[in-house]
Amino acid sequence: MRMGPRWIGFVFLLASLALPASLHAQGTGGLGPEVEARIDAVFEAMDSAHTPGCALGVMEGGSPAYLKGYGMANLEYDIPIGPSSVFHVASVSKQFTTFAVSLLVAEGEVSWEDDIRDYVPEVPDFGETITLRHLANHTSGIRDQWSLLSMAGWRFEADVITQDDVLEITSRQTALNFPVAEQYLYSNTGFTLLAVVVERVSGQTLKEFTQERMFGPLGMTGTHFHDNHNTIVPNRAYAYAPLGRDEGYRISIPDFDVVGATSLHTTVEDMAKWDRNFYTAEVGGTEVMKGMHERGILSSGDTINYALGLSHGRYRGLPTVGHGGADAGYRSDFLRFPEQDITVAVLCNFPSSGPGGLGRQVADIVLEDAFPEPLSDDDEEEGEEEADPVRLSEAELEELAGYYTQEANDRPVVIRNRRGHLFLEGRVRLFHEGDWVFRPDGEEEETVQLVATPDGSISFTTPEGITFLRQPSVDRDEVDLEPYVGTYWSDELGVEYEARLEEGRLFFTNRKTGRNNLGPVYKDGFGSGGNWVRFYRDSSGGIAGFTQSSGRVWKVRFERVG
In a domain, 539, yes or no: no
Helix H, strand E, coil C: the string for 91-119 is HHHHHHHHHHHHHHHHCCCCCCCCEHHHC
Say what the pTM is: 0.87
Mean pLDDT of all residues in 339-353:
97
Please check whether residue 291 is in contact with residue 99, taking contact to mean a CB–CB distance below 8 angstroms: no
Cβ neighbors of 65 (< 8 A, separation 6 or more) are 28, 30, 31, 58, 59, 366
* Residue 443 included in any domain: yes
Lowest-confidence segment of 88-97, 103-112, 151-160, 348-357 by average pLDDT = 151-160
User: Average pLDDT for residues 238-266, to the nearest whole number?
Assistant: 93
Cα angle 257-275-192, degrees, rounded to a multiple of 5: 25
Q: Are 210 and 202 in contact (CB under 8 A)?
A: no
Question: Which residues pair with residue 314 across a beta bridge?
Answer: 319
Lowest-pLDDT range, 95-109, 145-159, 168-182, 227-241? 145-159
Which residue type is seen at 321? V
Mean pLDDT of 314-327: 96
Helix locations, 286-434, DSSP H: 286-292, 355-366, 394-400
Is 8 a member of any domain? no
Q: What is the pLDDT of residue 29?
A: 52
Q: Say if 429 falls within a structural domain.
A: yes
Amino acid at 524: D
* pLDDT band (50, 70, 90) for residue 118: very high
Asked, for residue 268, whether it belongs to a domain, the answer is no
Q: How far is CA 85 from CA 60, 94, 236, in A?
A: 21, 20, 6
pLDDT band at residue 379 under the 50/70/90 scheme = very low
Residue 408 backbone dihedrals phi, psi, to 5 degrees: -70, -30
Sheet holding 264-266, edge to edge: 87-88, 264-266, 224-225
pLDDT bracket for residue 386 (50, 70, 90): low
Structural domains of the chain, count: 1
Per-residue pLDDT of 175-208, as tens digits, reads 999 999 999 999 999 999 999 999 999 999 999 9
3-state secondary structure of 313: strand
Average pLDDT over residues 386-399: 85
| CA 329/CA 239 separation, integer angstroms | 5
More confident position, 5 or 79: 79
pLDDT, one tens digit per residue, over 72-115 is 999 999 999 999 999 999 999 999 999 999 999 999 999 999 99
- Are the CB atoms for 313 and 304 separated by under 8 Å? no
Strand intervals (E) in 367-446: 402-405, 413-418, 421-424, 428-432, 437-440
Q: Which region among 124-133, 199-208, 464-473, 535-544 has the lowest average model confidence (pLDDT)? A: 464-473
In a domain, 404, yes or no: yes
Is 461 among the domain residues?
yes
Beta bridge partners, 531, equal 528
CB 99 within 8 A of CB 88: no
In sequence order, which residues have a C-beta less than 8 Å from that of residue 543 and are 6 or more positions away? Answer: 483, 484, 486, 535, 536, 537, 560
- E strands in 196-304: 224-225, 240-242, 249-251, 264-266
- Domain span at residue 436 reads 394-470
**E-strand spans in 295-401?**
311-315, 318-327, 330-337, 342-348
Contact 301, 184 (CB under 8 A): no
In a domain, 324, yes or no: no
- pLDDT single digits (tens) 9-33: 322 222 232 333 333 445 455 799 9
481-540 tens-digit pLDDT = 999 999 999 999 999 999 999 988 999 888 777 778 889 999 999 987 778 999 999 999
CA atoms within a 13 Å half-sphere pointing along the CA-CB vector of 193: 34
Q: Distance between CA 16 and CA 344 in Å, rounded?
A: 27
Region 44-52 average pLDDT: 95
